[in-house]
Amino acid sequence: MPVRLITAGESHGPGLTTIVEGLPAGLRLDQDAINRDMARRQLGFGRGGRMKIERDRADVTAGVRHGRTLGGPIALQVPNRDYANWEERMNPWPVETEVPPVHLPRPGHADLVGVWKYGVADVRDILERASARETAARVAGGAVFKAFLRTLGVEIRSHVTQITSIRVPRRHDLTIADFEQVDESPVRCLDPEASRAMVQEITTLRKANESLGGVFEVVAFGVVPGLGSHVSWEERLDGRIAMAMMSIQAMKGVGIGDGFELAGRPGSQAHDEIFFDEERGYHRETNRAGGLEGGMTNGEPLVVQVGMKPIPTLTKPLRSVDIETREPAQALRERTDSCTVPAAGVVGEAMLAQVLAEAYRRKFGGDHIDDVRAAVSAYEERIGWRRS
């Protein structure tokens, strides 16, 4: 069963559109839950002036009736409140006022390559769609996928583990309860001491006109074993997850479980030994593999680490070249955040939800949500899997 998430829209255009395809009929959606995720994407110490303007909400315009999905495509609209300040520059139709073009590409952004690729002379034709504002549409769709997964016993959470040089060690014992207050941290970090240090790091570097990157971790609890497959490279779930996470703007690295740390360990310290008892069934005492073996989920929590580079729009611009005159110049400077790693974790939740929803639909099918639940229950009984 194909599942797709399609987004449309520009950073300062009228709004963003999300289309979700492939979910069954009869799935109950909660408007407040969707908008809570929209608000969570705007959280985090280090956000800029745009977040003072936008108060994101997603309005469902198709595919849902009286709070339940109909089985067809679901459409959601996210208005851009800031469009009122950009109507002449971003109007879909010609305007009488002359709009000055942007000729100053930013190092680290899509600006220069996009101008080459699409044959345009105005960098704004590229930067508006390339902007991470597009992730608001992904989070809207991700909230719908989360509702589907929650019905099947799957919950997805995220937290920040590193901002620049401030980091916390990876924990193998995390439970859903550990995340209850994560959004209360100004940087969405589970460690209070590290959280304070991260806030100070952002404050210090922001005053120095720097932007900051870091690492967030996304964890899916309650995922059934056997999603994905070893038989084809295209069906390996770790590959699909990596593609989804790397598609998020500014992401530069993905690790499953202990990720790159595994490369520096001997085999006896890299793998998760298998145990069995009548009460728990098959189980592991560690989860270094992050819930994935051979391209398939193994019943342990699914853990994904994602590394984000610093945002390329700096308050003190880097050196660049004017694409009209080809003379040296400073890169474009627009309103920007200094650190969005906490918000990126919420986007990561949405992308993992899309991948897992697709994997469940591929394996279990079903036109109605009750059909899906019945198929999942029958499979869990067949393999004797016991949800921890």
Written as tens digits, the pLDDT of the chain (388 aa) is 689 999 999 999 999 999 999 999 999 999 999 999 999 999 888 766 555 556 799 999 999 999 999 999 999 999 999 999 999 999 999 999 999 999 999 999 999 999 999 999 999 999 999 999 999 999 999 999 999 999 999 999 999 999 999 999 888 899 999 999 999 999 999 999 999 999 999 999 999 999 999 999 999 999 999 999 999 999 999 999 999 999 999 999 999 999 999 999 999 999 999 999 988 889 999 999 999 999 999 999 999 999 999 999 888 899 999 999 999 999 988 777 899 999 999 999 999 999 999 999 999 999 999 999 999 999 999 999 988 7
What's residue 7's pLDDT? 98
Q: Give the number of other CB atoms < 10 A from CB of residue 25.
A: 17
pLDDT of residue 13: 96
- Reported in sequence order, the residue ranges of 25-165 that DSSP labels E, i.e. its strands, are 59-62, 64-65, 68-69, 74-79, 155-163
The length of the chain is: 388
At 1 the pLDDT is 65
Backbone angles phi, psi at 357, to 5 degrees: -60, -40
Phi, psi (5° rounding) for residue 285?
-100, -10
Three-state DSSP state, 148: helix
What's the pLDDT at 386? 85
Is residue 23 packed enough to be buried (19+ CB in 10 Å), middle (13-18) or exposed (0-12)? buried
pLDDT of residue 52: 54
pLDDT at 387: 82
∠ CA 368-158-162, rounded to 5°: 160
d(CA 86, CA 93): 13
pLDDT at 383: 94
What one-character DSSP code corresponds to residue 182?
Answer: G
- Write down the pLDDT at residue 148: 98
Question: Rounded to whole angstroms, how far apart are CA atoms 101 and 359?
Answer: 44
CB distance 50 to 335 below 8 Å? yes
Helix orientation angle between 369-383 and 135-151, rounded to the nearest 10 degrees: 60
CATH no., domain 4-383: 3.60.150.10
pTM, entire model: 0.96
Asked whether 56 and 78 are in contact (CB, 8 A), the reply is yes
Domain spans, the chain? 4-383
Q: How far apart are CA 291 and CA 97, in angstroms?
A: 56
How far is 236 from 295, CA to CA, in rounded Å?
4
Alpha carbon distance 36, 114 (integer Å): 34
Q: For residue 157, how many other CB atoms are within 10 A of its CB? A: 20
Task: Provide the token pair at 268.
Answer: 């006896």
Token pair 């790397």 in the structure block, residue: 246
pLDDT, residue 329, reads 95
> Distance between CA 189 and CA 156 in Å, rounded?
16
